Every structure is written in C-alpha cells, then in structure tokens.
Amino acid sequence: MKRYLKICMAAMIISGLLLSGCGKKEKQDPDSTSQSGVMKVGMVSDLGGVMDQSFNESAWEGLLRAQNELGIKIGYLESNNNSDYGPNLESLTDAGNSLIWSIGFMMGDAALEAAKANPEQKYGIVDMAYGNNTPPNLISVLFKSEQASFLVGYIAGRMTKTNKVGFIGGIKGFIIDSFDYGFHAGVNYANADVKILRQYVESFSDAAKGKSIANQMYQQGADIVFHASGPVGDGVIEAAKEKSKWAIGVDKDQNSLAPDNVLTSAIKRVDNAIFNIVSDLQKGKFAGGATVVYGLKEGGVDIAPSSDKHVPKEILSEVAELKTKIIRKEIVIPYNAKTYEKFYIAKQ
C-alpha cells in the first residue's frame, strides 16, 4: 500500500518541481515573441472546422503559404458552436497576433464586436461586409462568386443532355444569392431552354439532407447539380457518385472527392486573398475599414484547374473568352434577384 503512495507522492513532487521550473522560464516568453519581429497571424474557423474541404481549409492554406513564403507564425482555433466565436477571437487577441481572421459570414456579429472592443487589434473577415460601419481596424473581403458561378453555369448549360440542371444552396442570404443568380445567368446564357431546379437546404452542415435533395433532383431528370452549401455539398457529391451523374463543386477544387463525377468547381481563392492581405500587412499596408472585393480580375474566383478532365476543349475555350469579357465588363454578372432581372431583359 505505502509503495503506491510513495510513488504517487514522488511523481507529484517531481512534476511539481518541473512545472514550477518551466513556469519561470516561460514567463519572459510572451513579450519576446512580439519583440523578435516575427509577425503572428491567427484565424478562427466557423463550425466547419479547418479541414472542411471548403473555404475554411482554403483560408488555412493561404496562411500556410504565408508561413512558408513570408516566414510568419500562424495559428488557428476551431469553433464547436456559435457561442465559441467570441471567446476564440478573444483568445487569439490575447495571444499577440498582428491580424486575426474570422472565416465566414456566420461570424459576422462576433467579429464586429471583437473589432469594436479591441480598437488596437487588426481583424479580417471573409464573406461579410458592413459597408460604412466597418471599424477602421477591420478589413472585410468579399468575393464575386457570381462570376465563377456564371462560368460553371455556362459549362452546365452547354453540357446538359436532359436540358435540366439543379442548384442547391445552403442558407438563403446575400452570399448564396450571388452563387444562385450567377449560376442561373450562366446556364441561361449558354442555353435558354435549360430548366433549372432550385432548392435551399437551410443548413450549412446537414450533408444527409444535401444528399437527399440532390437525389430528388437527379430523379426529376437533372443531370448536373451545382451546390453552394459548404460541407452540405459532401452529400450532394456523394449522390452524384452513386447515381453516376455530374456535380459541380464549390469554394475549392472538389474533384478529388469524386474524380469521375465532379465536373468542375466554382472556386473562391480565399487563400489568395488572405495571403495578399497578410503580405501587405508585412509591408506595413493595411486597408482597415474597407471592403476588398476579389473577382476574376484579381484572381479571387475562377473555375477549378481540374475542369479540363471532363469539360471538352471547345467549351473551355468559350469559357476563356467569357472570362475576358467579364474582366472587360462587357458582361456584368447578376448577383441578386434584381440584377438578374435586368440581365435577363438586357439579354432579350
């Protein structure tokens, strides 16, 4: 009996000593990191987590690139539920980061509150805009997702054999609207006879529901389904795989999820945007209070590089032509119901 006790006591004393010794050493550390000149940048992911195969992962890739090329220190915190956003942002603020990213519009309120509460701390947010209310220490990044959606819509419109395609959105809102109407415009531009089925999952996490909606669309005769729904899309792509139909991915090149069934992806280069802003910050530039918009022109959106696997060359060259037209503003892509109507009338 006493042997157990002795071992326990000894272990306690030893580790106590070690811990206290460790404490002394560490105490000088917090200041030395900020003095050493190495910039630290952190990000808080939304509920999807850092490895979500979507824009959180893309954001993290941007930071990884910054770590490799710019020699900065990076870190992340994942959120398990909505009430984690505030504490996570606060933790990173205290960790001495030069810039803290919030990923996704779900974090809009938390990021705004944090930026107001810590005027000395620089923040960035992806997919959210506050217009004139943006605090001077917050930079918001928007993507012209409608441009990439238009291009994949064009591909879908040209390639459909059943003259029926589908659109699955996450939660209706200004972000997903831009995907929705961009895609509609693209399909319509390619072939006005194609019918588009449209449904919202009302979730960004319920992959099972995404799958069942996709299955329904395929049963109704659609042969290509585009999803703009984050992790819900895993279910959509799974349905395409099982039914051997086409799915179009979003945010990242999702071809790797189902190499034979993901036709193309409307990619949002969150990584580029994050890398550029971090790189600017390292040079001392920070456009706080502004909303930066990334479109085709800025390399912020595009179709996935893997598109050449399944999309015929002639369609791809048409897409390339469209791209230059969009960049030259010869075609202005609609991003909501109102602009779509205008686009539609102009086309007639």
Partner 1 sequence: MSIKAKLTNWSNSAKRYLDNTFVFTLIAIFIGLITGAIILAFAGFNPFESYWAMAVGIFSKPKYIIYTIIKATPIIITGYSVAFAFRTGLFNIGAEGQFIVGGIVAALAGYFLHLPPVIHAMVAFALAVGAAAAWGAAAGYLKARFGVHEVISTIMLNWIALYLSNYLVMSPAVKRAESEATHKILATARIDLFGVWKVSEQGMAWRMENRFFHDLLKPDINIGIIVAILLGVMIFLILKKTTLGYELRAVGFNKDAAENGGINVNRSFMSSMAIAGGLAGAAGALQVLGVSLECVNLSNMEGYGFDGIAVALIGGNTPAGCFLSGLLFGALKYGGGKLQSMMGAPREIISIVIGTILFFTAMPKLIRYFTSRINQKREEK
- Helix pair angle (174-190, 145-159), 10° resolution: 40
What residues pair up with 303 in beta bridges, in sequence order? 266
Q: Which of 172, 198, 309, 325 binds partner 1 (CB under 8 A)?
A: 172
Count CB neighbours of 283 within 10 A. 8
CA distance 50 to 104: 12
CA distance 233 to 226: 9
Using the rule CB under 8 A, is 1 a contact of partner 1? yes
**DSSP assignments along 146-166, one per residue:** HHHHHHHHHHHHHH-SSSEEE
* Distant-in-sequence contacts of 246-249, Cβ < 8 A, 24+ apart: 246/156, 246/159, 246/310, 247/214, 248/152, 248/155, 248/156, 248/224, 249/304
Residues between 210 and 249 with contacts to partner 1, criterion CB under 8 A: none
Using the rule CB under 8 A, is 203 a contact of partner 1? yes
What residues pair up with 265 in beta bridges, in sequence order? 249
Closest distance between partner 1 and the C-beta of residue 32, in Å?
14
* Binding piece for partner 1, criterion CB under 8 A, among 75-83, 248-256, 319-327, 330-338: 75-83
Decide whether 232 or 267 has the Cβ nearer to partner 1: 232
Closest distance between partner 1 and the C-beta of residue 176, in Å?
9
Closest distance between partner 1 and the C-beta of residue 211, in Å?
13
User: How many of the chain's residues bind partner 1 (CB under 8 A)?
Assistant: 47
Using the rule CB under 8 A, is 95 a contact of partner 1? yes
Decide whether 27 or 328 has the Cβ nearer to partner 1: 27
Cβ atoms of 271 and 59 closer than 8 Å: yes
Using the rule CB under 8 A, is 12 a contact of partner 1? yes
User: Could you tell me the two tokens for 130?
Assistant: 């506050």
Using the rule CB under 8 A, is 11 a contact of partner 1? yes
Using the rule CB under 8 A, is 321 a contact of partner 1? no
Using the rule CB under 8 A, is 162 a contact of partner 1? no
Q: Which of 77, 159, 248, 331 binds partner 1 (CB under 8 A)?
A: 77
Closest distance between partner 1 and the C-beta of residue 170, in Å?
9
262-268 and 301-303 as β-strands: parallel, antiparallel, unpaired?
Answer: antiparallel
Using the rule CB under 8 A, is 129 a contact of partner 1? no
Using the rule CB under 8 A, is 62 a contact of partner 1? no
Q: Which residues contact 33 (CB under 8 A, 6 or more apart)?
A: 40, 73, 96
Using the rule CB under 8 A, is 119 a contact of partner 1? yes
Q: Which of 59, 63, 72, 106 binds partner 1 (CB under 8 A)?
A: 106
Given CA atoms 149, 150, 155, 157 in this order, what sign does their dihedral have? positive
* Binding piece for partner 1, criterion CB under 8 A, among 57-65, 71-79, 300-308, 335-343: 71-79
User: Could you tell me the two tokens for 129?
Assistant: 């805009």
Q: Which of 41, 57, 58, 76 binds partner 1 (CB under 8 A)?
A: 76
Residues between 254 and 283 with contacts to partner 1, criterion CB under 8 A: none
Using the rule CB under 8 A, is 289 a contact of partner 1? no
Closest distance between partner 1 and the C-beta of residue 175, in Å?
9
Using the rule CB under 8 A, is 131 a contact of partner 1? no
Ramachandran angles phi, psi of 170, nearest 5°: -70, -90
CA distances from 9 to 12, 17, 21 (A): 5, 12, 18
**DSSP assignments along 276-308, one per residue:** HHHHHHHTT---TT-EEEE-TTTTSEEE-GGGG
Cβ atoms of 263 and 248 closer than 8 Å: yes
Using the rule CB under 8 A, is 4 a contact of partner 1? yes
Closest distance between partner 1 and the C-beta of residue 12, in Å?
7
User: Could you list the residues that contact partner 1 (CB under 8 A)?
Assistant: 1-2, 4-5, 8, 11-12, 15, 18-19, 22-23, 26, 42, 49, 75-78, 80-84, 86-88, 90-92, 94-95, 105-106, 113, 116-117, 119, 171-174, 202-206
